Homo-oligomer: A and B are copies of this chain.
């Protein structure tokens, strides 16, 4: 029984990778760089996007929003006059807890790829399954908020291990928490040695310039350490 289940999962991931490659080919044909943006619920993804999407010189940004239901984050970003497309994963049972390559593929006709240079895909808030599904991205970024504790890399290692960048967010709250930033950064390094980390506060703006510059490097196809 267990063996059967693992086989099914492997086949599903194979199918996903095939579709992800098709997405990648479409993005390449239009010269669009793609970032898969992930975190736990409430870590600050949307606010971190609001901080940078309109400030990238010569880079036209589009956003693909993934949510179980609703379009609150999409509405926030649309207010900044950024083209936003919404995917809802709801299917009557609470919906899928992640985006996969096929869901992204279904949205491609709606994404005016000729009019953007960088597509940021804001995934469903979840530290487990989004990490298992490639969508055709150039790079993966995750947000780990200091309010979530130092242990998250050890409990959700696949997410931390498959990202090119970890944004350590809500750093403005550090004086009010029993939290050891060094311990978090050591734990990140333990599951993904030498992964790039930027300490940020979406609220105060700390680290936001560095985050913007990182996105600019992806958008202009400079090397991103993987």
List the interface of chain A (C-beta within 8 A of B). 2, 5-6, 9, 13, 40-42, 67-70, 72, 91-97, 124-129, 131-132, 145, 147-149, 151-152, 154-159, 170, 172-173, 176-178, 203
Contact = CB atoms under 8 A, between A and B. Distances in A.
Contacts of A91: 2, 5-6, 9
A157 B147 CA distance: 23
A191 to B, nearest CB: 11
Contact of A147 (B5, B95, B170): B170
Given A94-B128, A128-B95, A178 B203 contact: yes
Contact of A42 (B5, B40, B97, B203): B40
A132 B69 contact: no
Given A128-B126, A151-B72, A156 B92 contact: no
A94 B42 contact: no
A152 B13 contact: no
Given A68-B128, A145-B147, A41 B97 contact: no
Contact of A126 (B5, B13, B97, B178): B97
Contacts of A156: 41, 68, 125
A4 B94 CA distance: 17
Contacts of A154: 70, 72
